[in-house]
Chains A and B, each alone.
Chain A
Amino acid sequence: MKGVIFRGLEALVIEKCGMAAWDDLLEKNAPEGRVYISAESYPDEEMVGLAQDVAAALSMSMPEVLKAFGEYLFSHLKARHPSIVANFNCFADLIIGIDKVIHVEVAKLYHEPNLPEIDAQIIEDGFILMRYNSKRQLCMCAEGLIFGAASHYGIDVTLNHVQCMHDGSDTCLIEVKYETPHG
């Protein structure tokens, strides 16, 4: 997993729990002297270990932590790459453009980014069906990112995870129902 995601987690933990907490997490889950760099790749297990410990420290479930992290990660990434987000006029544009625009931009920045496969289609105004597929199975994090995007555009969104890789499905299916300008 790319360091930029770890850096998002680092920022979140330090902001919410302080530097000592982040240090403790690193001590426990990463090799000695680890400093995350956005463009570098790190083992997925490190992220899982860190997230699990964050969940334990905050008495939250893993999905809850990933969702909260995803939401935070959106604002973290938006702050780093404002021009990418500026490509989109609205929430739906951004969700539909994840694969064709955002992932293309990410591929320009990072070597072998190992991005998840995301296919989003507008079923009707206010309703997007998203397919998520990744061997990392971080679908909850994807949910958090969707919430983060909705928050960026100042709209309400409801997600219904109708099919999940954690339940043995080949791919996750997430129904995204969102507020439209027409109500």
Chain B
Amino acid sequence: MAEDDYNYKKAYLREKSARDQLEILLEDKTRALFIANQELEKKLEMVKNQQVTLMQSEKMATLGQLSAGVAHEINNPLAYITSNVESIKFIKPVLVSLMTAAQQFVDKSISVSQLESILVQLNQENDLSFIVDDIDDLVDDTQEGLERIAHIVSNLVDFASLKDNVTAMADITESLNGTLKLLDNQLGTCAIELHIEKLPLTRCNISSMKQVFVNLLINAKHACDDLRDQQGKIRVKLFANENNIYIEVADNGCGMNADTLKQMFDPFFTTKPVGQGTGMGMAIVYNVLKEHNGTIEVESEVGMGSLIRCVIPIAT
């Protein structure tokens, strides 16, 4: 009996020692895993921050590419505003003379006949009826031109804003409309066909969605740039079902071959000549969709065109 007890205890102690060693091993591994996980979390945070910086850089690069077009967009209204203001400057002395004469007449410092003589002289020198007809147009056109510039600047500021992490309930159509205004000049060579259905509100990052539209539309436009015997056409469709919002951008441009299709979402992959593309456009589109739990589908045929379909789950 004593022998049995001794053996059992010895066996127990041996088993206990094995358990201890295994537990120490497990704890060492768990600690190492914990530390590695913390490192990974730190790195993930860094990558996220870099993504935000990269996205902003891409935006700035896009703005750089758009700057010539935007300058042209601003130049047009600016030209006729300048001309209108110049005309108003010529009209101003006539108006001042008229008002001065009116004031003198009210103050009784000139007589009716003196007033009449001043008015006749002003009319002979300046064709008052033409001024009356013209002034409305001058002011209205100037106001419209200034509003156009204000819109362009507001779209630019909106696009360049740093609100990259802000999500809110919004209509994605707003992003498309803002982007179309921003790219108005850039896309001028293509025929744009819009099929926009009423979309439900969804929780999204409007600023990021604009980046998606900018990249998709600019890519479509570039795909159409080399078309010789036909005009470039870009068709944009926005529609939704119960669960998802769909964004489709289709073009009749050069299309993509299998190699390009394979790599099109890789960061820094570009088919453009060196210095003309950052290669981040579609990588950013992919990331933005991922952040919205969305997916992207691509159909493309060389020489026929491409269709990019973004599917974004409706989030409330």
Contact = CB atoms under 8 A, between A and B. Distances in A.
A, B in one complex = yes
Given A37-B19, A108-B34, A108-B35, A19 B12 contact: yes
Contacts of A39: 23, 26-27, 30
Contact of A80 (B24, B31, B35): B24
Interface residues of B, number: 13
A122 interface: no
Contacts of A35: 19
Interface string A99-122: 000000001111000000000000
A134 interface: no
A75 interface: no
A19 B31 contact: no
Interface string A15-58: 00001000000000000000101110000000000000000000
Contacts, number: 27
Nearest to B22: A37
A109 B33 CA distance: 9
A4 B26 CA distance: 13
A38 B23 contact: yes
B19 to A, nearest CB: 7
Q: How large is the interface on A (under 10, 10 to 19, 20 to 34, 35 or more residues)?
A: 10 to 19
A21 B306 CA distance: 78
Nearest to B8: A19
B72 interface: no
A2 to B, nearest CB: 11
Contacts of A38: 23, 26-27
B27 A109 contact: yes
A108 B27 CA distance: 9
Contacts of B35: 108
A19 B12 CA distance: 9
A33 to B, nearest CB: 14
A37 B30 contact: no
Contact of A108 (B8, B9, B24, B30): B30
A109 B26 CA distance: 9
Contact of B31 (A4, A37, A109): A109
Interface of B: 8-9, 12, 19-20, 23-24, 26-27, 30-31, 34-35
Pairs of residues from A and B, 4 with the lowest C-beta to C-beta distance, nearest first: A108-B34, A38-B23, A108-B31, A109-B27
